[in-house]
Amino acid sequence: MNAAIDDIDAHMGAAGAIERAAILPAIFFAWCANLGLLAAEVVREFEREVLNLRYRDLKPGEFFIKVTGGRLDAHLLNERGRLFAQDHYADYPREFAQALGIAPADVYSAADSWDTYDAVAKPLTAAYYAFADAGHKPHRARRHWWQLWREE
């Protein structure tokens, strides 16, 4: 599944620069990394970058560009991440602006910083847990009745 969730090309006209165009998907992608919502292959391939992000030695925008090349695709996320992105990403730009106390048109002026991340991560995390609590969880592989005693 290579469906695009977001792409910096879609933001370039309004943002004017790659770093500014990356801010929305970058913060979301960094948040996904910190919540364990990245695909296992991505974590394996970019293990050092994920670790540097978690230690905050790499800014969200730097991490996003290095790992994705500027395009947030569904295959970069695990099933929980894809389900949440599919349900919530359309509301995310408005939520991003609201979390920072800025007008939606001013989102590209937000800094690629951990302060921006921290402000946006709170409502994103609340939305994610509300989503999960509503029963939107990954599908489990069906098992035969005689396999039910095994742990996954």
- Terminal C-alpha separation, the chain: 25
- pLDDT above 90 for 136: no
Measured between alpha carbons, how far is 64 from 82 in angstroms, rounded to an integer? Answer: 17
Task: Identify which has the larger pLDDT, 67 or 148.
Answer: 67
In terms of pTM, does the model score above 0.85?
Answer: yes
Q: Which two tokens stand for residue 57?
A: 């030695």
Mean pLDDT of 91-97: 97
